[in-house]
Amino acid sequence: MNTALRHSRERGNPGIKSNPWIPASAGMTSQARSRLVVVDIIAYVVLAFSIGLATAVSLAGVVLLLAQEAQAAEFVPMQPAQAQQGTLLLKAKGETLAVPAVATDAEIRVSGIVARAVVKQTYRNPYDAWFEGIYVFPLPENAAVDHLRMKIGERVIEGDIKERQAARAQYEQAKSSGQRAALVEQERPNMFTTSVANIPPHGEITVEIEYQQTLRFDAQGYSLRFPMVVGPRYIPGTPTEGRGHGWAPNTDQVPDAAHITPPVLHPDQHAPSNPVRLKVVLDAGVPLARVDSTYHPITQRETEGGGRIVELAAGEVPANKDFELKWTPVASHAPSAALFTEQSGDKHYALLMVMPPAKEVAAARLPREVIFVIDTSGSMSGSSIAQAKEALALAVSRLDERDSFNVIEFNSYAKALYPDARPASVAHRNNAVSWVRRLQAQGGTEMALALNLALNGRENPGRVRQVIFLTDGAVGNEDGLFKLIQDKLGDSRLFTVGIGSAPNSHFMMKAAQSGRGTFIYIGKIEEVKEKMGALFTKLESPVLKGIEIAWPDGSHAETWPQRVPDLYLGEPIVVSAALDKLEGDLRITGLRGEVHERPWQATLPLDEARTGRGMGVLWARAKIASLVDSLRDGAKEDEVREAVVNVALVHHLVSKYTSLIAVDKTPVRPVDATLKSGAVPTNLPEGWEFEKVFGELPQGATDSRWNLLVGFLALLLAGGLFRTSRRTPIAFGRG
Amino acid sequence: MKTLTSREDWPLGVECAWPATMHAAPAQAIVRDRTDPLAHRWQLWLASIALAFGVWQFGQGSYIQAKAWLAQVLIKQAWARTLDGKAQARPWPWADTWPVARITVPDRGIVRYVLAGANGRSIAFGPGHVFGTPLPGDAGNSVIGAHRDTHFAFLRELHPGEEIVVQKSAATIRRYRVEDSEIVDKRETRVMAQHGGEPRLTLITCYPFDALRAGGPLRYVVSAKAI
């Protein structure tokens, strides 16, 4: 500004010479003049400093008092008295990672809508000491684990099913007396722990686990998921007594936290561990249009019967993300109904699948209120949050002007974009999308806060209220959350969108079930459009509800689940039943339509049933799931435990209350040799950020001093330059 | 017209030097035309750029400090509302953080209002409570981070044995005693680890304290134990 002023004067008034200071300075002593120079420079600096300071203070004021970014969003304070104190806890340093390595080899045989898998875990001990290996690993959320075999060289020891405590006691006994033993316990329906005692120095023990599951399928086709890693879970609550091999202490909300938090390798410091080999033998029973793996490159070859054999192209992959195989039958062979039965003693176990036809005519629809909930916790950081944001932005922009919506984000705290749902006008939608784009993933996963904000327990006549919940489900307090959803649902519906490479499938499925909605997975950004499109089609189509299944008289059917959940477009009815006889016709009825309900019904002759293997196990698994669910409806734990144990022991199933155990009779470890123990560390799921999950030390410095110094020096320089530029001509003038 | 010779004249000189330089300019210009106009013009440009840059840097530096200082005033008011029972009282309407505790070092007269979250956005305004650790005052190891050149500059002076008082709500006050301080690498998350339910306070800032620039790998960690 000084310069500009000066220039204009140069041009405008070239003749002005009179300056009061020039004659004065001309008469000065040289000492006085140099002092003047110094004063001048100081003055420059002081002025510049004051300008700088004034600017800074006023800027700070402006920033504080006006918007730093035009923020149309209003934040809703969360409910009071919910200050959170969850724990993202770490084990102190110095913990050795010297534990046996585990290699997994899985072979899954698919026949129709059922898969049976053999998972072989080989525990190798590369050390000179005797070791116990503890491995926490995931399985599909509906896996019925019914066999355990421990292999030592050529010998095979078949596992027994026992009540959990009894199995644990037997294992501890074997462990301390030097016998080799293997124990499989269920931590969550989709999370298990294998403990293997007395692995000899430089030796190995192989543990084989078998499970069976019904596959998930809808109008788009079938999918088989094989999870490989349990992502680190957020553990809410206050720490309580008791620690285990996990990185988190037990808390009041997650009493078994220490069991479900195996150590996690930092991907920057360790190569991926726990290699997995996988083979899927696919006998779909119908001609297949296509078979694809979503996240892993595969090789596939056709078998004689028209099936496929699928293997990982890489041969071996680190256990760091879910494997998903999808296949679609040729259009004309898409199944509409299937009934598989298996006889065991005088009981017939049946698995029934019926695909209701898609509704052709667009039904009149009610206005919708859609509440989006996005998980912005640390575990979402990385590729997950990118997928979630993309999915949410897409979903918001798809809303109709008649609909209303709101967005809630949560991590250690929860906050809503608007105090109440707003009409999905273009302005609101745009505002929401830009709000979502700015979200950052950090902190804890206090899901209860978000659910409390999203669900109000109210009835909403005249409109459909849908909550869409985008999360990786990386929490340890699932049961508490399911109860919360159930209690506060009202007539809302909750849909889960499992995000990322290793979502918690148990959470996705049960949260959706408790919320009377459905669930999908998005594991990579390329899937967002297709998956969200499919979800929206379901959301916009009326459900099939009030489904009743009438078995023929005299069959004395015991059906699980007892109440068939509402079905969304393209989803099948799947139930298991135990029957006395297989005769007569089965009738299924239901209601469809949102504004005007229309009845739907189907009939199926029982004698057309095909025989299938393991139907009894699937029935028992469905029964156990329903029994455990009843705990949330207030059933007594003792009664549920007894009922579950009865079913599980008969069908040889691992459950919350029963475990499989195999013990080698002969002790091998010398009495004087000590046994070391360690939890097998797991990989961080692909795309996750370690520091965001386990926290990082805060960055505690600003550049302010640097700025001040640099600024000061620059001002000094400016002062000097101005000074000399003024002095030079004066010197000339005098000369 | 007088000559600046005596000491008493200096204040005036400082004040008056300013317009003087501007008035002096036209005179220079005429003289300069005869001599080396190009070099002179460059010098002026350079000087202006240096001035602008200096003001900017200085402003930036002061802004950071001013913001840190001013925000604590607003946060103090929000804390008063929190004590009155308001949850998540935001210090300014669009803030995405709110005070969760007040920490004081009574012997040093230091008062700081701790905000929710220890990310860059919140610790510009005050010490931040690291999400995922227990709240200050609660059972467990509560971790708080702040800048070494603003709110946590005092950590440097803090010695073992000194008392830190944490106010969590109107009724809850907890006293801690400083146990030790150490310098760790930023990856050493063990300092954030929980040791059962024992109430602890871990204060973290950047190290070294005198470093000019942010972004170093070291952290200064003060740990305190509830008394």
Query: pLDDT digit string (tens) for A546-568?
Result: 888 888 888 888 998 888 888 88
Using alpha carbons, list the distances in angstroms from residue B215 to A580, A586, B219: 73, 70, 10
CA distance B106 to chain A (A): 23
Residue of A3, A47, A90 lying closest to B192 (CB–CB): A90
| Percent of chain B clearing pLDDT 90 (strictly above) | 19
B61: Cβ–Cβ under 8 A, 6 or more apart, which residues? A56, A703, A704, A705, A706, A707, A708, A709, A711
Contacts of B67 in chain A (CB under 8 A): 60, 63-64
Confidence check: pLDDT of A50 > 80: no
- CA nearest to A233 within chain B: B132
> Is the separation of the CB atoms in A441 and A477 below 8 Å?
no
Q: Cβ of A699 and B197 within 8 Å? A: no
Cα(A378)–Cα(A532) distance, integer angstroms: 23
A652: Cβ–Cβ under 8 A, 6 or more apart, which residues? A146, A147, A161, A617, A660
Written in H, E and C, the secondary structure of A131-189 is EEEEEEEECCCCCEEEEEEEEECCEEEECEEEEHHHHHHHHHHHHHCCEEEEEEEEEEC
Q: Within an 8 Å CB–CB cutoff, is residue B169 touching chain A?
A: no
Q: Cβ of A729 and B140 within 8 Å? A: no
| Percent of chain A clearing pLDDT 90 (strictly above) | 43
> Is the separation of the CB atoms in A373 and A438 below 8 Å?
no
Which among A228, A239, A144 has a CA at the least distance from the CA of A186?
A144
Return the structure tokens found at A21.
């200071």
Query: In this structure, what DSSP letter does residue A730 have?
Result: H
Across A596-695, where does the E strand assignment appear? 598-605, 610-611, 658-667, 675-679
Binding-face residues of B in 58-87 toward A, CB within 8 A: 58-67, 70-71, 74, 85-87
The amino acid that residue B7 corresponds to is R
Contacts of A251 in chain B (CB under 8 A): none
Residue A672 CA to its chain's centroid (Å) = 45
Supply the pLDDT for residue A242: 64
Residue positions counted in chain B: 227
Q: Looking at the domain assignment, is residue A724 inside a domain?
A: yes
pLDDT tens track for B37-48: 777 788 888 888
Q: Looking at the domain assignment, is residue A49 inside a domain?
A: yes
- Rounded-to-10 torsion of CA A308, A209, A135, A275: -30
Confidence of residue A74 (pLDDT cuts 50, 70, 90): very low
Q: Looking at the domain assignment, is residue A726 inside a domain?
A: yes
- For residues A597 and A259, the model is more confident at A259
Cα(A8)–Cα(B72) distance, integer angstroms: 46
In this structure, of A15-19, A522-526, A676-680, B160-164, the range with the lowest mean pLDDT score is: A15-19
Strands A275-283, A658-667: pairing is unpaired
Q: Looking at the domain assignment, is residue A281 inside a domain?
A: no
ipTM of the complex: 0.76
Highest mean pLDDT among A589-593, B78-82, B208-212: B78-82
Confidence check: pLDDT of A53 > 50: yes
B201: Cβ–Cβ under 8 A, 6 or more apart, which residues? B103, B136, B141, B142, B144, B164, B166, B176, B223, B224, B225, B226
Return the structure tokens found at A2.
């000084």
pLDDT tens track for B112-155: 999 988 887 888 898 999 887 888 888 888 899 999 888 898 99
Contacts of A65 in chain B (CB under 8 A): 92
The average pLDDT across A288-295 equals 90
Residue of A29, A92, A711 lying closest to B57 (CB–CB): A711
- For residues A460 and A19, the model is more confident at A460
Contacts of B174 in chain A (CB under 8 A): none
Supply the pLDDT for residue A476: 92
Confidence check: pLDDT of A387 > 70: yes
Mutation to test the A interface, candidates B6, B7, B60, B112, most A Cβ within 10 Å: B60
Supply the pLDDT for residue B211: 83
Confidence of residue A727 (pLDDT cuts 50, 70, 90): low
Contacts of A56 in chain B (CB under 8 A): 58-63, 65-66
In this structure, of A314-323, A653-662, B63-72, the range with the lowest mean pLDDT score is: B63-72
Confidence check: pLDDT of B184 > 80: yes
Q: Looking at the domain assignment, is residue A699 inside a domain?
A: no
Contacts of B219 in chain A (CB under 8 A): 697, 700
Confidence of residue A459 (pLDDT cuts 50, 70, 90): confident
A444: Cβ–Cβ under 8 A, 6 or more apart, which residues? A84, A86, A88, A234, A236, A377, A378, A411, A412, B131, B132
Q: H/E element holding A481?
A: helix A478-488
Q: Looking at the domain assignment, is residue A40 inside a domain?
A: yes
- For chain A, the distance separating the N- and C-terminal CA atoms, rounded to the nearest angstrom, is 30
Supply the pLDDT for residue A543: 82
In this structure, of A159-168, A444-453, A589-598, A657-666, the range with the lowest mean pLDDT score is: A589-598
Confidence check: pLDDT of A590 > 60: yes
pLDDT tens track for A495-535: 999 999 999 999 999 999 999 999 999 999 998 988 898 88
Domains of chain B with bracketed CATH: 8-63 (no CATH), 77-226 (2.40.260.10)
DSSP string, A353-371: EE-PPPP-S------EEEE
Supply the pLDDT for residue A6: 38
Return the structure tokens found at A302.
């056709």
Q: Looking at the domain assignment, is residue A190 inside a domain?
A: no
Helices first, then strands: H and E counts in chain A: 14, 34
Which among A505, A442, A437, A617 has a CA at the least distance from the CA of A191?
A505
CA distance A269 to chain B (A): 11
Q: Looking at the domain assignment, is residue A718 inside a domain?
A: yes
The average pLDDT across A384-407 equals 91
> Is the separation of the CB atoms in A329 and A287 below 8 Å?
yes
Binding-face residues of B in 129-148 toward A, CB within 8 A: 130-135, 138-140, 143, 145-148
Which among A212, A499, A484 has a CA at the least distance from the CA of A508?
A499
Q: Give the count of beta carbons closer than 10 Å to the beta carbon of residue A169.
A: 13
Contacts of B134 in chain A (CB under 8 A): 85, 87, 238
Contacts of A234 in chain B (CB under 8 A): 132
Q: Within an 8 Å CB–CB cutoff, is residue B42 touching chain A?
A: no
- For residues A268 and B79, the model is more confident at B79
Confidence check: pLDDT of B16 > 60: no
Confidence check: pLDDT of A148 > 80: yes
Confidence of residue A731 (pLDDT cuts 50, 70, 90): very low
Q: Within an 8 Å CB–CB cutoff, is residue B170 touching chain A?
A: no
Total tally of structural domains belonging to chain A? 1
Q: Cβ of B43 and A724 within 8 Å? A: yes
Q: Cβ of A64 and B149 within 8 Å? A: no
The amino acid that residue B180 corresponds to is D
Mean pLDDT of chain B: 79
Cα(B14)–Cα(A330) distance, integer angstroms: 91
- For residues A506 and B168, the model is more confident at A506
pLDDT tens track for A77-113: 333 223 233 333 333 333 444 566 799 999 999 988 8
Written in H, E and C, the secondary structure of A51-87 is HHHHHHHHHHHHHHHCCCCCCCCCCCCCCCCCCCCCE
Supply the pLDDT for residue A581: 84
Supply the pLDDT for residue A360: 54
Confidence check: pLDDT of A11 > 60: no
Q: Is the previous residue joined to B208 through a cis bond, with omega within 30 degrees of 0?
A: yes
Supply the pLDDT for residue A485: 94
CA distance B227 to chain A (A): 19
The average pLDDT across A201-212 equals 93
Q: Within an 8 Å CB–CB cutoff, is residue B1 touching chain A?
A: yes
Cα(A202)–Cα(A128) distance, integer angstroms: 7
Confidence check: pLDDT of A692 > 70: yes
Supply the pLDDT for residue A34: 66
Q: Give the count of beta carbons closer than 10 Å to the beta carbon of residue A589.
A: 14
Q: Cβ of A703 and B214 within 8 Å? A: yes
In this structure, of A67-71, A365-369, B130-134, the range with the lowest mean pLDDT score is: A67-71
Using alpha carbons, list the distances in angstroms from residue A466 to A77, A368, A448, A495: 22, 7, 17, 7
> Is the separation of the CB atoms in B178 and B160 below 8 Å?
yes
Cα(A680)–Cα(A101) distance, integer angstroms: 7
Phi, psi of A52 (to 5 degrees): -60, -45
Residue A394 CA to its chain's centroid (Å) = 20
Confidence of residue A322 (pLDDT cuts 50, 70, 90): very high
In this structure, of A422-426, B1-5, B99-103, B110-114, the range with the lowest mean pLDDT score is: B1-5
Supply the pLDDT for residue A191: 95
Size of interface A-B (CB pairs under 8 A): 368
The amino acid that residue A270 corresponds to is H
Mean pLDDT of chain A: 83
Phi, psi of A330 (to 5 degrees): -55, 140
What is the span of the domain harbouring residue A43?
A: 28-59+709-735
> Is the separation of the CB atoms in A321 and A228 below 8 Å?
yes
A720: Cβ–Cβ under 8 A, 6 or more apart, which residues? A41
Contacts of B172 in chain A (CB under 8 A): none
Classified as helix, coil or strand, B205 is strand
Confidence of residue B18 (pLDDT cuts 50, 70, 90): very low
Q: Cβ of A705 and B46 within 8 Å? A: no
